[in-house]
Amino acid sequence: MPAHRWDLLLTHATLATLDGEAPFGLVENAALAIADGRIAWLGPMDALPKRTSIGRSEDLGGRLLTPALVDCHTHLVFAGNRANEFDMRLNGASYEQIARAGGGIRSSVAAVRQADEDELLRQSLPRARALLGDGVATLEIKSGYGLDLDNERKMLRVARRIGQLLGIGVRTTYLAAHALPPEYRDDADGYVDALIDWLPQLHAEGLVDAVDAFCESIGFSPAQTRRLFEAARTLGIPVKLHADQLSDLGGAALTAEFGGLSADHVEYTGEDGVRAMAKRGTVAVLLPGAFHVLRETKLPPIALLREHGVAMAVATDCNPGTSPLLSLRQAMQLACTHFRLTPEEALRGATVNAARALGLADRGILRKGLRADLVAWEVAHPAELCYWLGGQLATRIYVAGQPLS
């Protein structure tokens, strides 16, 4: 009788396990076995167990094998685009000026409200496919361009459908506290009352995995954000926050106070916020795409995050206005170039730390017992994933052990 029964055995690979103390957790001339959608064994080829029953094997020919990428912050469900704002910024308009003039998020709200669910899905699917093609097998999708009950529901339903159609993991985040809709232009507190009222309904429909808000002077105040977080806590829903992107309103510390999964952007977060995040295990999600497109100069506090041991994730922030980015690998490259992350920090940021920012402990590392979400890359060393600008490097993507490409 065979001692092991494996569905798939991948051989002659270079593994970047991201496990252990070796750089990238590299294991050369290695193999990895999958059973029931999970990693059943991994190690050097010469240590392969002898008594095995193997359903199928694939020779990777020396290719790099990593955990599949996790994009933990996206707004990819939207209609239309905002290329005109890109032009406006290049002609001198600031993010805040565009928003106060009725552009920005509000223009995307109008487009989403005009699109029915099928049309919104039709426009959004290609963006998800682009991320998948570059190695993403789990992604987060936020609402926040509907800003009323029916349209927030529509966005969240589309996000769920994307996961079902593509066979990938999708985590949904309720971001109704993204901007004030026209109906509440002069009544921010009234709008917060409304979006808190919608939350239990959407959660009961299985559409909300986390709650988020845009806590800024042009968004929602810390007091309003706190009210939303308290409502989420009552329902047992984890929180995260667009925190300290344009100013330090204490958003990162507020998120940590509620045991938040992540504080995202964090360009203006001070040491008190970093200490609070470290204490509660809140992940700092770096979004270099928005930093790049907005031509920002205020860097996130990378040295402080390292000093205090705050896990750093990297995400695309894929959205129509400030980060029209369709490659998580490109976000990793931008994180290295703009924020001076090392390639290993960037890869961990787009795998294990990104999974942690979504509350997922079953992926992001190559380790026995975890989900077999994997990518085979046409490169020899993991640093190349951050080195190459563009190009199709992913040759094979596996989700729960099943090949998607």
Q: Cite the annotated binding site for Zn(2+) by residue number.
A: 73, 75, 242, 317
Q: What angle do CA 312, 258, 201 make, to 5 degrees?
A: 105
Binding residues for N-formimidoyl-L-glutamate: 145, 319, 321
Binding residues for 4-imidazolone-5-propanoate: 82, 145, 178, 245, 322
Instruction: Dig out the tokens for 257 from the structure.
Output: 């106070």
The span from the CA of 385 to the CA of 64, in Å, is 10
Residue 235: CB partners within 8 Å, gap ≥ 6?
A: 199, 200, 203
With CA atoms as reference, report the closest residue to 211 among 191, 188, 234, 190.
234
Q: Are 353 and 341 in contact (CB under 8 A)?
A: no
DSSP class of residue 382 equals: T
CA distances from 60 to 12, 30, 376 (A): 6, 10, 8
Binding residues: 73, 75, 82, 145, 178, 242, 245, 317, 319, 321-322
The span from the CA of 328 to the CA of 331, in Å, is 5
DSSP class of residue 46 equals: G
CA distances from 383 to 218, 315, 327, 380 (A): 38, 18, 16, 9
Binding residues for Fe(3+): 73, 75, 242, 317
With CA atoms as reference, report the closest residue to 374 among 46, 24, 34.
34
CA torsion, points 169, 263, 179, 120, in degrees to nearest 10?
-10
Count other C-beta atoms under 10 Å from residue 295's C-beta: 8
Question: Helix, strand or coil for residue 260?
Answer: coil
With CA atoms as reference, report the closest residue to 124 among 362, 358, 319, 331.
319
For residue 194, count CB atoms less than 10 angstroms from its CB and return exposed for 0-12, middle for 13-18, buried for 19 or more: middle
